[in-house]
Amino acid sequence: MQTGRHLWFIGFMGAGKTHWAARAADVLGRPHLDLDAVLEARMGRTIAEAFSTLGEDAFRALEIEELRRIAALAEPHVVSTGGGTPELPGAWAVMEAAGRAIWLDVAWPDLVVRLSSERDQRPLLSGADWEARARALWLRRRPVYARALEVWREPSEAQIQALALRLQSTR
């Protein structure tokens, strides 16, 4: 693993990207950026409001623009992406050129439990058939996420510590 590079935490919504990226940033002594939070601050509205007022295509255009801006930062960051970020045209090239992706691969039953309590905040989960649509989206995105060089199936503090040791040993 290269040092001086960004770490991109990717995975489906509800996988814990923000939590585990923030923990990794704390342990590594790097700044953490949550792409969704950065976008919300920039737009002055929530992701759900942006989907509603701008539409998904306009939101995704802002998302890839912000991803490129973050990738260009000289200081290494730990970044939690949006669940759909890796699917954006050009996103993998940006992330690979500027660092390394870590896929948080959480089992579908665990995601359903997490997402069922977060549906109000997630525009792609509106409607009565949310679980079937979310599963189809999860299945569609898995091959995209699988391009990551590192996969964490059960994220843990031990994995954070192992990551820190690997980064220290490559200095």
pLDDT digits (tens, 9 = 90+) for 118-151: 766 666 667 778 888 889 999 999 999 999 989 9
Q: Which residues contact 53 (CB under 8 A, 6 or more apart)?
A: 45
Over residues 107-128, the mean pLDDT reads 79
Domain boundaries, the chain: 6-169
- Look at residue 121 in the predicted model and tell me its pLDDT: 67
Secondary element (H or E) of residue 110: helix 108-116
- Indicate if the pLDDT at residue 169 is higher than 80: no
The 3-state DSSP class for residue 27 equals helix
DSSP 8-state symbol, 138 = H
Q: Residues 21-57: pLDDT tens digits?
A: 999 999 999 999 999 999 999 999 998 888 889 988 9
Phi, psi of 122 (to 5 degrees): -120, 105
Domain 6-169: which topology? Rossmann fold (3.40.50)
Report yes or no on whether pTM surpasses 0.85.
yes
pLDDT of residue 3: 41
Q: For residue 133, what pLDDT is reported? A: 87
Measure the CA–CA gap between 43 and 123, rounded to whole angstroms: 16
pLDDT attached to residue 171? 56
Amino acid identity at 62: L
